[in-house]
Structure formats: structure tokens, C-alpha cells
Structure 1
Amino acid sequence: MYETTFADIYVDLANECSDYHVHKTDRVTVTISEKLNSPDCFHPDLQEPLLTMKNFNNLLKCVRFKVERDESVGLELDLKDQPQGKKRTAFTEMMESSTKRKPPPLKDQNSLRFTGKDKMYNNICDEMAKCGAEFPLSMTNDVIRKHVSAITDVLWYLDGNMEKIMERSLHYKDVKPVPKRFLQSSFKGLNDWKKKKQKAPSIQSTEIKKHSSALFNIVTCAFTAQWGEFRRDLEHLAISLDAYATFLDMSNDAQQKRQILDHPVRQVGDHAFLEHRTSKTDVVFPQYSILDDIMARREKYSYLLYDEKKHTSFQKPMDSQQRWNFLKYLKLSVPVDILTYNPGGAVGSTIVLWRTNEERATDEVMQCSVQVYEKIRVLLPEFHTRQMRKMFVSKFCNLPAVSVPPAVLRVIYTELTLDSSAEQNKGIENRIREAILSEDPDIVTDLRHLNPGRPNDTFNSFFDKLSEIIEDMTAADERRHNVEHLSQFVSVRDLINQVASKLPEHTNIPSESTVLFAFVPKNSHTNVSKLYKSKIPLQFKVQTRQLRSSHQDDHYCAAVFKYSRHFSVKYKPSVTFLCVDDKSKVDFGEPGLYVSTGVRGKKSIAPMQSNLSALDHDMQSKGSLTPSVCLELTFLRKKMIPSTEE
């Protein structure tokens, strides 16, 4: 069989067709592949035997003959005598297929599981197709998807943070910008963290290094050498991510070094600047009129803490450039000195002005400036480090007989050192300041110590009775093998009512939340499981064999129902709107055999050691009843709100 050539097969096929004849000028090519429409195909020679195909790849099973015919020639010719060109072998086909290319495969947009990340994947495939970035024909689709998914993971992680990298690149030369190709709108807004009700995404240096390493692995592959501009942009994106990860590590190291300092990072003596504006003007610009009136009425060397809202006539807050121009070209009708102190961060500069004499000697300038500086020293904020606060606590809290709450220590430290750092617990620290100012030791600063907690034995009778009921449920049927067929409790409220009915009157009954949190958590590895006490062996479980199905025409059915309602509202005097529906069937079986309740996805309360289950579908049911419901809808005249009547 395998000695037969492709030409023999073609002749046999041609002989079976009575209306088909082989012409002299026919040019026949053979295509073999694993599947009928597979892109991975080979073109052997007509005189090549089938054994060569089997030795090359035994999975090749689809053969297709393509005939190019000149209709003007009608002479018949034996195909074996047809002149052949250069002999083609399996090796030559492999060499030619290595140079052929194919675009990356797209994901099905009509799939029910098509997500935003899949949409970004398709956008990347479209961008690669535009740039001619294709993969070798011999590469499988799974490997291609792996490479494209690596690029998708990078852009998916950066979605919402690319603007931050671009902003850092404008201020820091070590941070490289993201290529413009990946700033397109097709790569933005797909990973919407607000829609997911999540926190704003933050960039971690470890994750960025992983993504940059994945991009470097792609651009170093040999097949990317023909990608041109797309490969160059991928390389620049990898360099940008690697540079930003280095920037984050350096910023983190610098912040840790600042936190272990035993002095403020920015001290007033090193970052305060004094400027003398001795020149005065007779014509004051309108933007300086309010400030000029205040300074003209002030006494000499009486300082003024500058406030942009009070001392300017601008209706809107000034930006950084307007604020800088305002202070640079400041000229008043009286000479003033300006002290500027910038503590760093986003706090902004603190500006203090005071009026001076028109003509001053050098000694007067130095002496008066120092005096004013000592007065305003308490107005200039300083931000202390963590190490400074730790040193204060360790110095004054090591006495064994003294126990000072941490909040009181923080307030004492802030008041004594003029630390302007953010407060950890603003409510408690404000109450402590009020107690200090009022000199009243009876003021309660922390209300938590007044709550001794609930006594542990308040609901012991209730939970003891509940434990007895659970034991009876578990031991009721020894043949169940820890399988419950029907939950005894419909809800937590029903559970409380059943237990309370078996207790004496005036017994303390807990609330629903107390009973609920006494259950065993379904998943002990989640944060919510910390609330559960596992006091009673109960869990919320779903009965097995409960499935929900969907249909591809759900949207159209909902639209038809919507249009029907609108039509009925518009022509309500002439329309009777009826909704008829067959509800879920109710199975019934033989007496004494447990069948499914038919409740879909409803969690029921069951003992922790038991499984909630019922008979299989082909064993339990001997028949079923299908209840039907008919609803007649009436539409109100005023608000056009449908109401249902059964």
C-alpha cells in the first residue's frame, strides 16, 4: 500500500469520475495535512510514495489535489508521463515551511467566557498583524498563545499605571518612558479596578521585574528578528519596566534610610531661606493690594503668616507656576523680609513676612532677623522619623512601675517636640489634648476600656440544647454514611425558633449574627473566617446535583419581553397582558426514599461531618408534578407601573 505514489491515487480518482479527463497541460499539486483546513500543510512530489509521508509524520491523513487547467487543450495524457520539475522531498518541504509565517490566532469574541483580558489579547494580535509581526508556520498555536499572553499580562498589569510611569520619566532621567504604541486607547481601560470595586492598583518592583524578564525572553527569540518596529518597541518597553523597577527599589532604600535617622530629614536651619525686599513701589499691582494694605498697617518686625486664601484676590487656587511668579515679582509700598521654608513632600512651603525699616545697617539686619526667626520658630513644621519616636518611647517607658498608654505618649511627644507628622488615631489624641487642657483627670479618653465584653456563659443553655439537636440529627440514621437528605433548618432564624421552643421561658436567646458566627467557616483560609468561632459543628452547604444552564438567546428573549411590556403600556385599553409559566417540576418517588428538593443553589444548614445529598436522578423519581402559574398584569394610569394579580 505504501509503495503507491500520489500520482497513482490521482489517476484512480480521475478514472472514477466519468466526466473528468486528464489534459496534457494540467498542473497538479498535492497538499497533505493533519486536518482538512489546517494551516500546517506540506506539498510533496506526485511521484513520491506514501511511505515517505508515513515516515515523515504518521498523523498526516488529509490529501488534497489541486489542478490548474488550460481549457484550450483537450488532449489526454497519462499522468505518469507528465514532465516533472525539480524533485521535491520532505526535507525541502521542511526547509520551506521554516521560512513561512502566520499571524497569531485570535480568541473567540462570541464565547460566554470572553473577558476584558481576552479583548486586550485580540487587540495585541491586531496590532501585531498591522506591523507584520508573525510567527513561524511550524510553531504550534499553543506556543504562539503563550508568547502573546506574556505581552498581554504586561499591558494588563500596567493598565491604569502607565500615566504614572510617564510622569516619573519627565522628572527623573533614570526612568524611561513607555513607547507610544502601547499608550493607545485599545490598551487602556480594560482592567477597570473601579468596576471591580477594588483598590487603586499599585506597582510592585518584583512584579515589574518578572514582566520585563518575560519581554526580554521574547525579544531574544530568533523569530522576532523580522518584527521590525514592533520588536524595537517591545525592547524599549522591557527597558522602561526594568528602569522603573530599579527606581522603585532605590526610592524604597532611600525611604528606609530616612526612617532610621535620629533627626528630621529636613531641618529648619538647612531649608529656610530669607530674602530682603527693600525696594518699594508707589504703584501696587491689583493682585498685591490685599497683602499691601495689611503690611502697611502692621508694626515693624511684626510677622505675618502668609495664607493664599486670605491675602490674595484670586478666586481659584493658584498652581505652582502662578504661586512662584506671585512671590518672585512681589513688590509692596513698604519694605519687607520674606522667610520661605519647605519641609518637603506635598505639604507646600511656609511663607512668613514682616515689615522692616527702609534703611538698615548690617548689624540691624542680622539681629532683627534672628529675633523674628526665634518668634516664628514654632510655626515652622518639622516631620520626625520613626526612629526619633522609638527613642523617646524606649527612654521614658522602661520603668517597671509606670504604664503609659501609647496614645498618651504620642500626644506628649507631639506637644513637646512640635512634631507635625500625621496622627495615628485622631479621635483619641484629640480627646487626650482636651483632657490635658482642661486639667480634668476624670475625662474618658479611650472608651474601649469601659466595655468588659459579653460574659461567656450568657447563651450556654441555648448552645447546649443546639448541640443535643445536632447529635440527634447525626445519629438518626446509621445507614446514611454521613449523608443528609434534607436540611432540618430552613434559615438561621428558623434554627433559633426551633431551639428556643425546646428551652424554658426567660432563657437568653442570642441574635442571628451570634448564632451565625458560631458556625464552622466554609473556607478557613479567607479573612472572613476570622469572625467564625466554630462553636457548633454547622455549615452552610448546597445540595448536590444543582446546576444552572444558560442559553445564547437570553438577550433576545429579554428584549422581546421588554418590547411586549412597552406595547402593552402604550395600548393598555386594548391589551390583556398574561404571563404563563410552568414552574420547576416536583419529583416524587416511593415511600421512604429520599429525593432531591429541587432548590437550586440554596445553602442549607447541615452538620459539619455530614454531606447533604439525595438519590441519583435515574433512581429517585417515579413521577413528577409540574405546577403552572398564570399572572395577569394591570397597568396603572398615573405612573404606568405594572402590578400582578394571580
Structure 2
Amino acid sequence: MYFIVAVYKQNKLLLEDAITMEEDNSFEDLLIETLGYITEEKVTLKFFNTLTNHWAGIRDLNTKLIFCKNFEPCQLQFTLNTTESESLEDTRTNINPLERMMENSKRLHLPTKHLFVNRKDLMFNDLIDLLNQKSVGWIIGIHETIGNSFVNKLIDLLWYIDPHHEKIKARGCTIPDIFLTLPQYQINETYNQFYFTGHHKKEQISSEKLETLIKTIESCVSQPWASQNIWKNIIGDIFNLCHIMRKYISYLKNVNERMKFINESDEPVRNIFNNISIETRESLQIINKKYDTISLLLQTSDDYELHFLDNYLPESKKDRYEFINNMKLKVPFTLYRYYHGNYLGTLNFIWKIFDDPAERSKTFEAQAITLANDMIPKFFTRQMKKNIAEKVLLIVILYILIFIYLHINSYSKF
């Protein structure tokens, strides 16, 4: 908070200055900060009430400065009252002003909190409270320059990753606990709520921007103040955060390289023959009633006639899994399964085979497998689509040229 302080003694103005001090300090602390020493003289305090345009008294100097929150910048008037007996007393203990100034210069200060305009200001203020709890800070003079710069750069990094905590954790990257003790994380909330509630394009984490933010933080903590013992634990947690974020950057780069390889490939990503399973199951005379429909279907079908099994499966994934694993029918059959490897799940085909294993035909079996392979959806890469588009374009251009040539020749005959 900002204060305009005037100190009077015997109706004379001793000094007048503009002072900045945290709101959790008292008026007595403000007086000591202004004078540079502790006074034992009786002190009268008044502040200017902007609502009434009059000076009003404050009786208790231990009152917190937050009292003046609504009058910022607050105008204060301290008056030192010395009696004749006090002025003649030679035994009074005085504080050496130089020593007091030396003590004040060693006191640790933190950057001034922001006015709460947005939730990034809230994160800034909460981080200041966290640093205060850890009893760290800067000497007066640099706390609003070097200190403020460091806190803002750390906030930039924390704000950038704020909406993505769950995603980062899912990739095996755990954010240090000290940063998760911020109040909003303790109630399972995020600071950047606009990311989820706003109607705008959701920005994904960029490895380039994340690396830039990390380097900015690392340049700050390489300064001399960061080597002080009071900062040892905090700086260790910050380096740990940077290490975790670089681990996540490595993951992002690997994913991007993999996607680039896939998009530039001239072949489908998934090879059919590496993602199918073929199983032969023998017949069973007594079966579960839930398999009667499929059993009857195969009994009335030709040998090696292909059927799409998914049409007869339960809706629940768990029920499907148990249904297929325990499936026994009154005829021997081959079960063909293709694994998509994503949300599309598994495709299942089935066909009846000969009862006698000696009579079973590998040729018919191969034909059924080929037919099933042809029914598997094919997903083309970007490069494959690009190749097809280029070929189509060449054909179109060729037809246009032929049309122009024939059109010109038809006119030349006349």
C-alpha cells in the first residue's frame, strides 16, 4: 500500500515522505520505517478522511495498515509529543539511527501484491503469500525490481501449464508439491478458468513456448540472490519444475515426430497382418443358450461362409469380452479378430469349418481370411491422400489439354 507520511514535533515538520508498505504491518511499523529508528516519545496519529475531508485520529498504533485500504494513497500525520521532564531526562535510551538503518536494510521484502483484476492477479498474490510463508524475500530496493521480475516470470510458467495439470500428470510428469499447495489447487480448482469456460480456441501446450518460459526462469535463478541459503529449497523446487517440464517437452517432440512420420508415409500406419488374430474352436454339443442364435446361423450356412459377428454381440464392452472368450457352438468354427487400436474397438468375423480336421481346406480358409481382410476399413495418411490428389490433378489437366487440342482442330477444318 502507498502512504504519504508527515512527522511533526513541537509544531515543526520534521520530514515528509511517500512510503510503500504491506497492509499486514502496523502504523507503528510505518512510523519506524519513516523515522529510521524507534522513538519512545508519545505519538499522536491522524489520517485524512477523504469522505468527510477532515483529519481523524487513530488511537492504537498497533492497528493494521489495511485500515486505510479504502483511502489509498492514505495521508498520515504523526506528531511527536515531548514533555519538559522527558526533554531533561539524560538517561533515556536512544537507538542509533545508523544501526536502525542497517537493520532495516537487512529486512526481507516481497513485491507488492496486485489489485485483484483477474485470476492471474489472484495467482500472483497467492504465490506472494506462499513465499512469505517460506520466509524468503529480497532486501529493500530490489524487491520491486529483481524480485517482481522473478515472480512474474514464474507466474507466466505456472499460468501457462495451469489448465493442463491432468494431461501433464497422465504423461508421468509430476509437478512439485510446493506449487500444488496454492489455494485454488487445494480445492481442486484452476486459476485459468477462462480456458475452460470461454468460447475460444483452446491453446495446446507448445514445446517452443514452454522451452522459452523455462529458459527465462533459469536465467532469473542464476543471479546471486538465488544462491542465498534462505532460497535453497525454493530454488531446488523451481529447478525440479523446469526438469519436469523438459521431460514433457521431450514427450511432445516424440509425438510430433511420430505424427510427422505417419503423415509423410506412403503406407497405412497399421498393417493388417500384424493386428489380426485367427483362432479355431471345436464344436460342443451342450452350449449356453445365449449362443443359440449364432450356432443356428452357422449350422444353416455353407462351410467357410463369412459372417460379421459384431451384429450378434452385446452392447457392453465387458459383456462382449466375456461373450467372445467363452463362446462355444455346436459346430466347429474359425474366429477372425482385427484390432483397430483406438476407439473403434475390434472387428470380429466368424465362419463354419468342416467337422473332420482332416477334411479342412487351407485354400478355403485363406479365401475367407482374404475376404475378411478386404472388409477392414483402410485409413489413409496425408501423404497417401496427397499422392492421389496429384495423380487426379494430372489426369484432369491431361483431359483439359486433349479437349483444347480437339476443339482447336475442329475449328481449323473450317
Of the three residues 338, 344, 349, the one matched with 1:347 is 344
- 2:312 counterpart letter in structure 1: H
Q: In the TM superposition, what is the alpha-carbon distance from 1:289 to its structure 2 partner?
A: 5.9
Task: Give the equivalent residue in structure 1 for 2:245.
Answer: 241
User: Secondary structure at the residue paired with 2:386?
Assistant: helix
Matched, 1:305 2:278: no
Matched, 1:337 2:310: no
Cα distance in structure 2, aligned partners of 1:253 and 1:351: 33
Q: In the TM superposition, what is the alpha-carbon distance from 1:215 to its structure 2 partner?
A: 3.6
Cα distance in structure 2, aligned partners of 1:293 and 1:33: 101
Q: In the TM superposition, what is the alpha-carbon distance from 1:159 to its structure 2 partner?
A: 3.3
Select the structure that is richer in helix: 2
CA-to-aligned-CA distance 1:455-508 (integer Å, 9 cap, x gap): xxxxxxxxxxxxxxxxxxxxxxxxxxxxxxxxxxxxxxxxxxxxxxxxxxxxxx
Q: In the TM superposition, what is the alpha-carbon distance from 1:79 to its structure 2 partner?
A: 7.0
Cα distance in structure 2, aligned partners of 1:134 and 1:281: 79
Q: Which runs of 5+ in 2 are unaligned?
A: 1-7, 23-32, 43-84, 402-414
Cα distance in structure 2, aligned partners of 1:340 and 1:398: 39
User: Secondary structure at the residue paired with 1:339?
Assistant: strand
Q: Give the alignment of 1:175-574 within 5 angstroms.
A: 176-180=173-177, 181-182=179-180, 183-185=185-187, 188=190, 190-221=192-223, 222-223=225-226, 226-227=230-231, 230-278=234-282, 280=284, 282-284=286-288, 286=290, 291-292=294-295, 294-307=297-310, 310-314=311-315, 317-318=316-317, 324-361=321-358, 364=360, 366-395=362-391, 397-398=393-394, 400-403=397-400
1:98/1:304 Cα in 2 relative to 1: closer, same or farther (>3 Å)? farther
CA-to-aligned-CA distance 1:282-331 (integer Å, 9 cap, x gap): 34275x56555544554432222232xx42344xx42xx66555544444
1:106/1:208 Cα in 2 relative to 1: closer, same or farther (>3 Å)? same
1:217/1:349 Cα in 2 relative to 1: closer, same or farther (>3 Å)? farther
The answer to whether the Cα contact below 8 Å between 1:102 and 1:136 also exists between their aligned partners in 2 is yes
Cα distance in structure 1, aligned partners of 2:105 and 2:284: 82
Task: Give the equivalent residue in structure 2 for 1:588.
Answer: none
1:236/1:77 Cα in 2 relative to 1: closer, same or farther (>3 Å)? same
Cα distance in structure 1, aligned partners of 2:282 and 2:105: 81
Q: Give the alignment of 1:63-78 within 5 angstroms.
A: 63-67=36-40
User: Secondary structure at the residue paired with 2:195?
Assistant: coil
1:255/1:37 Cα in 2 relative to 1: closer, same or farther (>3 Å)? closer
User: Secondary structure at the residue paired with 1:66?
Assistant: coil
Q: In the TM superposition, what is the alpha-carbon distance from 1:389 to its structure 2 partner?
A: 3.2
Cα distance in structure 2, aligned partners of 1:365 and 1:37: 93
Q: In the TM superposition, what is the alpha-carbon distance from 1:104 to its structure 2 partner?
A: 4.4
Q: In the TM superposition, what is the alpha-carbon distance from 1:380 to its structure 2 partner?
A: 0.8
Q: In the TM superposition, what is the alpha-carbon distance from 1:118 to its structure 2 partner?
A: 1.5
Cα distance in structure 2, aligned partners of 1:278 and 1:184: 58
1:232/1:295 Cα in 2 relative to 1: closer, same or farther (>3 Å)? farther
1:353/1:107 Cα in 2 relative to 1: closer, same or farther (>3 Å)? same
Cα distance in structure 1, aligned partners of 2:252 and 2:294: 43
Cα distance in structure 2, aligned partners of 1:115 and 1:333: 70
The answer to whether the Cα contact below 8 Å between 1:295 and 1:354 also exists between their aligned partners in 2 is yes
The answer to whether the Cα contact below 8 Å between 2:163 and 2:192 also exists between their aligned partners in 1 is no
Cα distance in structure 1, aligned partners of 2:299 and 2:169: 47
1:234/1:380 Cα in 2 relative to 1: closer, same or farther (>3 Å)? same
Rg: which structure is higher? 1
User: Secondary structure at the residue paired with 1:398?
Assistant: helix
The answer to whether the Cα contact below 8 Å between 2:335 and 2:349 also exists between their aligned partners in 1 is yes
1:190/1:398 Cα in 2 relative to 1: closer, same or farther (>3 Å)? closer
CA-to-aligned-CA distance 1:96-152 (integer Å, 9 cap, x gap): 55753334432223xxxx1122222223333444x4153123333243333222232
Task: Give the equivalent residue in structure 1 for 2:78.
Answer: none
Alignment RMSD (CA, Å):
4.1
Task: Give the equivalent residue in structure 1 for 2:74.
Answer: none
User: Secondary structure at the residue paired with 2:369?
Assistant: helix
Matched, 1:116 2:119: yes
TM-score by length of 2: 0.65
User: Secondary structure at the residue paired with 2:40?
Assistant: strand
1:284/1:198 Cα in 2 relative to 1: closer, same or farther (>3 Å)? same
Cα distance in structure 1, aligned partners of 2:295 and 2:286: 11
Of the three residues 86, 97, 109, the one matched with 1:102 is 109
Q: In the TM superposition, what is the alpha-carbon distance from 1:350 to its structure 2 partner?
A: 2.1
The answer to whether the Cα contact below 8 Å between 2:111 and 2:143 also exists between their aligned partners in 1 is no
1:333/1:88 Cα in 2 relative to 1: closer, same or farther (>3 Å)? farther
The answer to whether the Cα contact below 8 Å between 2:168 and 2:174 also exists between their aligned partners in 1 is yes
Q: Give the alignment of 1:615-634 within 5 angstroms.
A: none
- 1:336 counterpart letter in structure 2: F
Cα distance in structure 2, aligned partners of 1:293 and 1:168: 48
Cα distance in structure 2, aligned partners of 1:285 and 1:163: 45
The answer to whether the Cα contact below 8 Å between 1:160 and 1:201 also exists between their aligned partners in 2 is no
User: Secondary structure at the residue paired with 2:351?
Assistant: strand
1:148/1:334 Cα in 2 relative to 1: closer, same or farther (>3 Å)? farther
CA-to-aligned-CA distance 1:189-220 (integer Å, 9 cap, x gap): 53323543112332221122122223434554
CA-to-aligned-CA distance 1:413-448 (integer Å, 9 cap, x gap): xxxxxxxxxxxxxxxxxxxxxxxxxxxxxxxxxxxx
Q: In the TM superposition, what is the alpha-carbon distance from 1:65 to its structure 2 partner?
A: 3.7
Cα distance in structure 1, aligned partners of 2:106 and 2:233: 20
Task: Give the equivalent residue in structure 2 for 1:143.
Answer: 146
- 1:191 counterpart letter in structure 2: Q
Task: Give the equivalent residue in structure 1 for 2:162.
Answer: 159
User: Secondary structure at the residue paired with 1:67?
Assistant: coil
The answer to whether the Cα contact below 8 Å between 1:260 and 1:386 also exists between their aligned partners in 2 is yes
The answer to whether the Cα contact below 8 Å between 2:277 and 2:336 also exists between their aligned partners in 1 is yes
Q: In the TM superposition, what is the alpha-carbon distance from 1:397 to its structure 2 partner?
A: 3.8
User: Secondary structure at the residue paired with 1:141?
Assistant: coil
